[in-house]
Amino acid sequence: MMNDSMKTGQGSPASPAETESTKRASTDRAHQIIRTSWIGIATNVLLAGFKAVVGILSSSVAIVMDYSE
């Protein structure tokens, strides 16, 4: 049984340079995802701290309760 890559003659394995390039792109993407996640976590922590301070200083129960979530 022949698959599409065999019919078109494209069934040869990738060259080492293509494989290395693919691995590097995958690693770069993973690092970007991790970096973006840490930025999001840090931003949320700072926002929660800001909301807590504002809620406490203004004696606002709604803001303090929003902070606790």
pLDDT value at residue 12 = 54
Domain region containing 39:
20-68
**Is residue 12 assigned to a domain?**
no
Q: What is the pLDDT of residues 21-57, one digit of tens each?
A: 777 778 888 899 999 999 999 999 999 888 888 888 8
pLDDT value at residue 11 = 53
Model confidence at 9: pLDDT above 60: no
- Count of structural domains within the chain: 1
**Is residue 58 assigned to a domain?**
yes
**Is residue 2 assigned to a domain?**
no
Confidence (pTM):
0.56
Confidence of residue 20 (pLDDT cuts 50, 70, 90): confident
**Is residue 64 assigned to a domain?**
yes
Nearest partner of 53 among 68, 42, 40, 64, judged by Cα: 64
**Is residue 5 assigned to a domain?**
no
**Is residue 13 assigned to a domain?**
no
